[in-house]
Amino acid sequence: MTDIAPAAAATAAIESKDLSIYYGSFQAVRDVNLDIQPNRITAIIGPSGCGKSTVLRAFNRMNELIPNVNTTGEVLFRGQNIYKSDVDPVEVRRHIGMVFQKPNPFPKSVYENVAWGARINGFKGNMDELVHNSLTAAALWDEVKDKLDQSGLSLSGGQQQRLCIARAIAVRPDIILMDEPCSALDPIATLRIEELMRDLATEYTIIIVTHNMQQAARVSDRTAFFSLSDDGKRAGMLMEYGDTKTMFTRPEKKITEDYITGRFG
Amino acid sequence: MSASNLQQRHRTGRVWLVVFQVALLTGIVALTALLFNILNGSFGYVAIEDTIAPQDLAVNGVPLEEQDKDTLIQVLQAHISAGLFARYEFDKPFAERSAGEVYDLILERVVEPKFVAQWSLYETLTNRDAIRQTAAQDFPNARLEFRSWLNSHFLRAPQSSYPEIAGVRTAVLGSLWTIGIAVLFAFPVGVAAAVYLQEYAPDNLINRIIQTNITNLAGVPSIIYGILGLAIFVRALGHFTSGVAFGASDPTTSNGRTILSAGLTLGMLVLPLIIINAQEAIKAVPSSLRQASFGLGATRWETVWHHVLPNAISGIMTGTILAISRAIGETAPLVVIGASTFIQVDPEGPFSNFTTLPIQIYQWTARPQSVFRNLAGGASLVLLGLLLTLNATAIILRNRYRRSL
Ligand SMILES: Nc1ncnc2c1ncn2[C@@H]1O[C@H](COP(=O)(O)OP(=O)(O)OP(=O)(O)O)[C@@H](O)[C@H]1O
Ligand SMILES: [Mg+2]
């Protein structure tokens, strides 16, 4: 296995080239070319079933946990194709973290939730400090500082999701993937997470899948719009990709405009 | 929709309700009958003839049970031949025997109680006067006593051909030993296999065949496992299971019909059960936990060890205890591999010959004298008690783990 080299001169934080993903014989994603800019928030939007989650999971090889998934094309991270046979997916995921749709803290203490990932990745520094910093970065410290030894499951839904974000940043990833991180939360908790994402974007590259147009418009710098191919095969394709402002005011394609204005999807 | 149609539908519903209630009632009746049958044989009047009545052995007005050890030894010495006393001294010096043991010896050799007649619990409760009359008429020298066949002597005493002094100690120890070995073997192997099948094995033809086989093995009749155990552990591996290979037994007299063979056979028997139950417990761990773990850059092993197993352990425990409950009552496979039906010495280790509770019960019920059926009743109670204890342990363990999550 080759170690993933420190950031090369590449301008993209991560980039897919002709990425196609199959579930068995069904092509869920076709020929996606997407370059994600560093320290930006990129939103992935599109109708249900167009392969947003599938593409997101392709960025840290989480699709491999699903049986019968086949990936072709390349995903370049630090100038290296993470699908090359000598790259270890464990190493990839350590650099590219993930926050899921449903908050899924471990049934362990708040402290342990944050510390565990760092510990298995060989963190040698001051663990208390790391936990403190990660929880602070996730805007959760003040709410949980008195219950670090309580179960992570005893927190509210929004707190649990921020705990999952703290857990993800505790291993110091370069990129954080978020799959509809707010869909299980109420509007106030959602706003908190959105603020948090803006803060985190100074240090991390964030890719977020969302169904919420306002959220994409509010929070993201760039937007990628996916839709189903119109050849009847229902493969997900990247339709349009650009600055969020442009996408939401002057989209190039009719289909993008229709989706954004809520005329379909 | 007409009203008469609705009435018809309600009637159908009521008929089915009655069917369900009758089914439940049948179950309850069957269970009650079982319990009654066991209790009926385990308690009741016995007519006992003593060679010397225990009252006559009282020294200075102190009843036999309350005397100290030295006095008990004197009583024993006074009533048995010097030769016999010397033999007991030789078997185990009296200095090392407890007062209880000496008391048992006095009962066995001096008092020599003989059960001349016994009545079931039902008869005892409903027909007391008639029993008293019969006893007084037929056995004028006997005393009538209400006896619990399950008593502390019964638990402490080894097997004996005299029903008056026979106990289940050897059998209980044999059962515990075999079950212990079965669990030591089947638990780690079963859990490891379940982890492999659930977390590692790709979904291909070979693994599906393996899975189907394990599921089917769980249903194979236990006697078949007995035959398997006989062929493998007793015969083929007899050199090891007899302990000869480890220099633990005498090669000329020992054979493979040992506790070790029995434990391994029972282990094989419950292995599929443990695997299947552990698989279910592992399956029940939400996949979101695995994803969270992998998403942090954990390896599969770290995910299994830190998240899957701790969250599945209570289910695994429950399944294991259920498997043990099954194994503890197994008789057929142990008969096949050659459990001794009559054995008086405690098992000393994995290479000892053995008997177990169910075998003891079976053997007692097969005896012609009716008194042994009462002993079997008492032994059944012991077996049930053992089972209940195990199940209670399972529930406590499971609840404790649930709370700590
Ligand atoms: N585990 C799976 N096995 C087989 N097919 C799958 C699997 N997961 C997704 N698919 C298929 O792949 C396509 C894309 O799914 P994906 O979950 O990526 O869509 P999505 O854009 O995230 O949808 P949503 O917005 O509803 O979450 C769908 O047609 C879906 O049925
Ligand atoms: Mg999705």
Highest mean predicted confidence (pLDDT) among B107-111, B144-148, B298-302: B298-302
pTM of the model: 0.84
Report the share of chain B in percent with pLDDT over 90. 43
pLDDT at B40 over 70: yes
Q: Does residue A265 lie within any of the structural domains?
A: no
Q: Round to whole Å and give the CA distance between B118 and B377.
A: 13
Q: Does residue A155 lie within any of the structural domains?
A: no
Could you tell me the pLDDT band of residue A8, with boundaries at 50, 70 and 90?
Answer: very low
Q: Which two tokens stand for residue A18?
A: 């002709």
pLDDT at B56: 80
Tokens 């309350």 -> residue: B66
Q: Which residue has the higher pLDDT, A85 or B62?
A: A85
Q: Round to whole Å and give the CA distance between B146 and A78.
A: 88
CB contact under 8 A, A100 and B288: yes
Residues of A in contact with B301 (CB under 8 A): none
Q: Closest residue (by CA) to atom 14 of ligand 1?
A: A51
Q: Give the one of A67, A95, A120 whose C-beta lies nearest to B298's C-beta.
A: A120
Q: Give the one of A67, A102, A151 whose C-beta lies nearest to B288's C-beta.
A: A102
Is residue A58 within 6 Å of ligand 1 at its C-beta? no
Structural domains of chain B in order of their starting residue, each with its CATH number: 43-148 (no CATH), 169-401 (1.10.3720.10)
Mean pLDDT within B51-67: 80
Three-state secondary structure call for residue A28: strand
For the stretch B272-292, pLDDT in tens is: 999 999 999 999 999 999 999
Q: Which residue has the higher pLDDT, B143 or B249?
A: B143
For the stretch A93-151, pLDDT in tens is: 999 999 999 999 999 999 999 999 999 999 999 999 999 999 999 999 999 999 999 99
Q: Which residue has the higher pLDDT, A87 or B352?
A: A87
pLDDT at A9: 44
Q: Which two tokens stand for residue B289?
A: 């936990």
pLDDT at A64: 92
pLDDT at B395 over 70: yes
Three-state secondary structure call for residue A19: strand
Question: In angstroms, what is the C-alpha Rg of chain B?
Answer: 28
pLDDT at B71: 86
Q: Which residue has the higher pLDDT, B61 or A230?
A: A230
Q: Does residue A166 lie within any of the structural domains?
A: no
pLDDT at B369 over 50: yes
CA distance B118 to chain A (A): 60
Q: Does residue A139 lie within any of the structural domains?
A: no
Q: Which two tokens stand for residue B201?
A: 């094995």
Residue count of chain B, please give it: 405
Q: Report the Cα–Cα distance between both ends of chain B, in Å, rounded.
A: 53
Q: Does residue A58 lie within any of the structural domains?
A: yes
pLDDT at B252 over 80: no
Tokens 């029995």 -> residue: B262
Q: Which residue has the higher pLDDT, B39 or B250?
A: B39
What CATH number has the domain bearing residue A184? Answer: 3.40.50.300
CA distances from B386 to A127, B84, B294, B390 (A): 48, 37, 43, 6
Q: Which of A120, A153, A179 should we substitute to test contact with B (largest number of B Cβ atoms within 10 Å)? A: A120
Three-state secondary structure call for residue A60: coil
Q: Round to whole Å and give the CA distance between B93 and B377.
A: 35
Q: How many CA atoms lie within 13 A of B130 on its CB side?
A: 7
Q: What are the DSSP calls for B90-141, one per residue?
A: HHS-GGGS-HHHHHHHHIIIII--EEEEE--HHHHHH-HHHHHHHHHHH-TT
pLDDT at B154 over 60: yes
Type of residue numbered A203: E
For the stretch A23-75, pLDDT in tens is: 999 999 999 999 999 999 999 999 999 999 999 999 999 999 998 999 999 99
pLDDT at B404 over 60: no
Domain span at residue A48? 14-104+176-197+205-260
CB contact under 8 A, A90 and B299: yes
pLDDT at A4: 56
Q: B215, B276 in Cβ contact below 8 A?
A: yes
CB contact under 8 A, A104 and B307: no
Number of compact structural domains in chain A: 1
> Angle at the Cα of A199 (from A197 to A205), degrees rounded to 5?
60
Distance of CA B37 to the CA centre of its chain: 18
pLDDT at A231: 85
Residue count of chain A, please give it: 265
Residues of B in contact with A94 (CB under 8 A): 296-297
Mean pLDDT within A153-176: 94
pLDDT at B1 over 70: no
Q: Does residue A92 lie within any of the structural domains?
A: yes
Q: Does residue A125 lie within any of the structural domains?
A: no
- Indicate the pairing of strand B143-148 with strand B43-49: antiparallel
Q: Does residue A138 lie within any of the structural domains?
A: no
CA distance B318 to chain A (A): 20
